[in-house]
Structure formats: C-alpha cells, structure tokens
Structure 1
C-alpha cells in the first residue's frame, strides 16, 4: 500500500497505534482480572512508552523481515493481493509479538529470575489476540484509513509521466 518512505511512516504510525493500544488494553485487562472503563485510559500511559518501541522495531527491522518471509510464502508477482496482505500480516505478527512481549516483560512485568518463563507466557497469551486483532480488525481498519489519506487515484496521477 505505501508507495514511498513518507507513506510507510504514516502507515506504520497508524498501525502501531491500533495494534499497540489494543494489545495494551488486553494486557491490562489480563492483569486486573477483566476489562473495565479505567483500562482504556490507563492504556494511554503505556502507549507513550510502547508506541515508539513498536514503531522503531516495525519500521526499521520487522517490516523488512516480514516482507521477505511473506515473499517466500507467496509469489508477489502472481498471487491475489489478499494473499500478499495475509502473508505480510502473519509474518509481522510472528515477529512483533515476541519482540513487543519482550519489551513489556522488561518494562512492566518485574520478572526477576523467572524472566524467560514470564516472557514466554506473555508471548503465548499475546499471540492469539495479536494475530486475530491484526487480521480481522486492525489491518483492515488501518488499510481503510490509509486508502482515504492516500487515495490510489492520486498515487496513479503522481506516477504517470507528464505529457
């Protein structure tokens, strides 16, 4: 979807917001024993910490790895666009979930000598939520928003040579 670095930055910022905020709400809910209204406000306090971490990881490391892995899963030249989006999304979650769970374990879990166990448990709890949230809600919502910020018609006009 993004056609240049500026668009990649915008897309990543939007995706980070939707994914990280939802995952923070999920983790706070797990910690307090359920979802309540205070979770939504509390999540913003962690978002200012976890959001930049997620952006740096995704923009500089994971997006390239996910794209390469997805390209091994499907042939981008001949596959349906949905297959390409699905492959990239799956690979992104596969890399981001353990990395963000690691960051959360370091910053918020006070794991001590049980660090590896707490990190693995955090990753295991987060993965199903991250996977389905990405595929069913965040991914489509972010692509919808992105398409309205950067309509394809404008991109096609910019790419067309001046005659």
Structure 2
C-alpha cells in the first residue's frame, strides 16, 4: 500500500503502535493474572521502551526479509490480494514474534540462567495473540487508517489541482 518512503514510515509507525499496544496489554494481563486500570498504565509505560525497538526491528530488518519470503509463497498480481496480504502478515509475525519475545524477556523478565525456557514460553504465549491480532484486527485497522490518511490527501490534491 505505501507508495513512498514517507508513507512506509507512517505505515510502519501505525502498525508498530497498534501491535505493541495490544501485545503489551496482553502480556501485562498475563503477568498480573488479569488486566486492571493500573495494569493498563503499566503496559503503556513499557511501550515507551519496546516501541522504538519494535519499529527499528520491523522497519529496517524484517520488512526487507518478509516480502521476499512471502512472495515465494504468493505472487502479487497473480494471486488474490487477500492471499498476498495474509502471506506478508504471517511471515512478518513469524519473524517479529520470536525477536520481540527475546527483547521482552531480556528487558522485562530478567530470567538469569533460565533465559532459553523463559524466552520460549514468552514466544509460545505471544505467537497466537500476535498472529490473530495482526490478521483480524491490527492489519485491517492500520490499512483502513492508512487509506483514510493518504486517499483523503490525494483526493484533496486532485481537487485543488483542478
């Protein structure tokens, strides 16, 4: 969907915000055995730390790799657009989830010598949430917001040019 580097950055910032917000709320709820008002505030404080890490990881690394792998599975222009979207989203989650679970384990869980089991448990707990959140909620929401921002802007530019 993004056509320029600026649009890619905006799309990445939006996607990262909604993914990180949901995952922080989810993980805080797991840690607290239920989400509370205090937990919501705690999750948003953690977002300040994890958001830049997630954006840099996704924008500069995973978004260079994921399309190449996804486009081995589907072909844009030949396959239905929904399959292309699902393939890209699935591959992105498959890479981002273990990486961000790694960072969450290092930064928030302080596992000591139990690092590998704590990281694996974090990854396994996070993957279903990340996958379904991305496919059914976050992805469609961000694409909708993105289209609202950039289609309205392009329509306004066309109207003022006439």
TM-score (norm 1): 0.92
Any idea what SS the aligned residue of 2:75 has? coil
The aligned counterpart of 1:96 is 96
Partner of 2:114: 114
Residue 84 of structure 1: aligned partner: 84
Unaligned runs of 5+ in 1: 159-163
Question: Which residue in the other structure is 1:8 paired with?
Answer: 8
CA RMSD, aligned part only? 1.7
Gaps of at least 5 residues in structure 2 are: none
Distance 2:84 2:152 in 1: 18
Secondary structure of the corresponding residue to residue 70 of structure 2: helix
Counterpart mapping for 1:7-156 below 5 A: 7-151=7-151, 154=154
User: Which shows bigger deviation, 60-69 or 146-155?
Assistant: 146-155
Render the CA deviation track for 1:47-84: whole Å, top value 9, x for unaligned. Answer: 11100000000000011111111101101131111111
- Of 137-146 and 61-70, more deviation after overlay is shown by 61-70
- TM-score, normalised on structure 2? 0.93
